[in-house]
Amino acid sequence: MTYIQINKVEKFENIVLIKFSCSDSIKKYFNEKEIFVEYDFNIDLIPDYILTIPALSNIIQVAWFTNSNVYIKDIDHTLLKALNNIREIFKKNFKNLDFSSIIQYENLKYEAFGENGIIQLFSGGLDSTATCIKNIKTKSTLAIIDFEPAGIHKDIINWAKNIYGNGTVARTNIYSFLNRKKLDNDFGTYTDGSWWGGVQHGMGLIGLTAPITYHLKSKIIYIASTHDDTFKDSWGSDPKTDNLMCWSNLKVSHQDYNFSRQDKLKKIIKPYVIENSFYPPLLVCNSYARKKNEYNCSKCAKCAQCIVALAIEELDPRKFGFNVTNKTFLWIKESLDTLTYFGRKSDFWTWQNAHKNIPKNVDDMKEFIPGTLTFLKWFSELNFKYDDYFNNTTVMRDRPGYKIKYVDSKPELTYEK
Ligand SMILES: [Zn+2]
């Protein structure tokens, strides 16, 4: 049986580096065998078994899919149970795969360090912004995970830290340490062509918060839902798996599963904008095309979906960080007509959700950008199907990634083209 072994935890003030090794036959799935996380606080007093949680929660999916046992010296008692429970859900979701690998450890650890306070994963996207606004009175700490070179826009960090009030940023290579091309080639039929979306991001991002929860003695972690229960395919962030993830005496709560994506705009973000005359920046884009100083590329399918969803709510997309001109809606129409947009089933679900919510009285709606209402009328009359309107053959993968570089024997995250 193949294996993955977590060997070493190294600390550099606010940086943790977790080194692992694995069987030769599964080396192809890893670009790097070191997981790097840089927090914005000193980690010296955080025990190693907490500092390995970010690595374990991003490696474990590879172990499960390749039937590799995981060897680790110390593991949190609650986390071990949680991972075994999540493995059972994966086993049901991916029926043709074995999922028989186990976690072998030397010592079980447990310290009930959670006291109070909420950590909320925050990316600046529509889902996490809605959850953040809905829970604004809880004054939770927003945890921003920066895992790719286009990074998180400084305004999102500013909104979290200064406008919302509490924020912490972690930079990491959890996206780029994996060879996504190889994983998607071998397991893409199970993951809708996307390892990150299909199996990794929920557990992986939650796991990144473990050292933060120890540092702040938090009790609960919020992760915003992607879908509501009308989405029937398996997905890498779902209440059935996210809510099982835990360590110490903490709990994870998959938030706002009772709201669809359009509902989040209609019932949470729009009332907030009206009440506060403030437009929270929305950073929805994860396209290659997005540049570091932009919120969104305003060209990809994900950006287009959000522009359309905002227009349906009579909200001006430009005020949320989209570059929209009088050509944009013509272009969106043409992209749909010519199957230019790449979309996974999850992406199609968001489009379909917007499509269902187009009001009947389009002519009476507010139009901020010429062409909006003509587009909405055309879109509302469309017999809108996944196979007819989305290119599902060219999967977006291998987005630019971080790389670990050593400067004076200290690791750093760099981006080399
Ligand atoms: Zn985009």
Q: How far is the CA of 302 from the centre of ligand 1 (A)?
A: 6
Answer whether 262's CB lies under 8 Å from 310's CB.
Answer: no
Q: How far is the CA of 237 from the centre of ligand 1 (A)?
A: 21
Q: How far is the CA of 106 from the centre of ligand 1 (A)?
A: 46
Pairing assessment for the beta strands 141-146 and 410-414 based on DSSP bridges = unpaired
Q: How far is the CA of 357 from the centre of ligand 1 (A)?
A: 22
Answer whether 269's CB lies under 8 Å from 130's CB.
Answer: yes
Q: How far is the CA of 321 from the centre of ligand 1 (A)?
A: 11
Q: How far is the CA of 121 from the centre of ligand 1 (A)?
A: 21
Q: How far is the CA of 406 from the centre of ligand 1 (A)?
A: 32
Within 10 A of 125 (CB to CB), how many other CB atoms are there?
A: 18
Three-state DSSP string of 360-401 = CCHHHCCCCCCCHHHHHHHHHCCCCCHHHHCECCCCCCCCCC
Tens-place pLDDT, residues 195-245: 999 999 999 999 999 999 999 999 999 999 999 999 988 899 999 999 999
Please state the domain extents for the chain.
3-257, 289-389
Q: How far is the CA of 189 from the centre of ligand 1 (A)?
A: 25
Please give the biggest Cα pair distance in the chain.
67
Q: How far is the CA of 304 from the centre of ligand 1 (A)?
A: 7
Tokens 């884009």 label which residue? 285
Q: How far is the CA of 301 from the centre of ligand 1 (A)?
A: 7
Of 182, 197, 349, 209, which Cα lies nearest the Cα of 286? 197
Q: How far is the CA of 310 from the centre of ligand 1 (A)?
A: 15
Q: Which two tokens stand for residue 353?
A: 């959700």
Phi, psi of 52 (to 5 degrees): -85, -10
Q: How far is the CA of 361 from the centre of ligand 1 (A)?
A: 29
Tens-place pLDDT, residues 291-318: 778 899 999 999 999 999 999 999 999 9
Tens-place pLDDT, residues 244-261: 999 999 999 999 999 999
Q: How far is the CA of 198 from the centre of ligand 1 (A)?
A: 19
Answer whether 93's CB lies under 8 Å from 234's CB.
Answer: yes
Tens-place pLDDT, residues 58-89: 999 999 999 999 999 999 999 999 999 999 99
Rounded distance, CA 55 to CA 83, Å? 13
E strand residue ranges, 13-129 = 15-22, 34-38, 69-76, 103-109, 118-121
- Residue 340 reports pLDDT greater than 70: yes
Tokens 């971080």 label which residue? 402
Tens-place pLDDT, residues 362-413: 999 999 999 999 999 999 999 999 888 888 776 555 677 889 999 999 999 9
Phi, psi of 76 (to 5 degrees): -65, 135
Q: How far is the CA of 350 from the centre of ligand 1 (A)?
A: 15
Q: How far is CA 65 from CA 50, 97, 118, 400, 416, in A?
A: 24, 7, 32, 24, 30
- Residue 354 reports pLDDT greater than 90: yes
DSSP 136-197: GGG-PEEEEEE-STT---HHHHHIIIIIIS-EEEEEE-TTTTB-HHHHHHHHHHHHTT-HII
Decide: helix, strand or coil at residue 313.
Answer: coil
Tens-place pLDDT, residues 159-169: 899 888 899 99
Tens-place pLDDT, residues 168-200: 999 999 999 999 999 999 998 898 888 999 999
For residue 177, is it left (φ>0), alpha (ψ between -120 and 50) or beta?
Answer: alpha
Q: Which two tokens stand for residue 44?
A: 């010296």
Q: How far is the CA of 152 from the centre of ligand 1 (A)?
A: 14
